[in-house]
Structure 1
């Protein structure tokens, strides 16, 4: 099972969207657009969840692999 980590190499703010895109195996730009649209239409609820997720989700190691296995 793949674990969710914040991306070190594909980050704009905290790396959460980059890590989520890698975890879901989709394009990072798509995840960022969905998060931005959801933040506008949810009146800020998604922004609060983004901040909470950025605090809770651990950052990956600098090599891009956290446990030595490439999923």
Structure 2
């Protein structure tokens, strides 16, 4: 069963578009462009929904495994 998470590795702001891209197997850049266009046409309503979704959708618990920035070198 698939679950929607915010991406930890593919993010520009909150990782929401990266997570949606992973969920639907789409390029996250396409999701970002669609979100930007819809934000302008909705007079900010999509931005409000984006912020709410970023608060309530959890970060992916699995993305840190492949995230090179999470490695700690001694």
TM-score where L is the length of structure 1:
0.87
Match of 1:68 in 2: none
- Whose Rg is larger? 2
Identify the residue that residue 69 of structure 1 maps to in structure 2. Answer: none
State the TM-score, normalized to the length of structure 2: 0.83
Structure 2 gap segments, 5+ residues each = 67-74
Unaligned ranges ≥5, structure 1: 65-71
Alignment length (residue pairs) = 64
Q: Does 1:63 align with 2:65?
A: yes
Could you say which residue in structure 2 is the equivalent of 1:34? 34
- The aligned residue for residue 19 of structure 1 is 19
Which one has a larger percent helix, Structure 1 or Structure 2?
A: 2
Alpha-carbon displacement from aligned partner over 1:26-60 (angstroms, at most 9, x marks no partner): 00110000000000000000000000000000001
Superposition CA RMSD, Å: 0.9
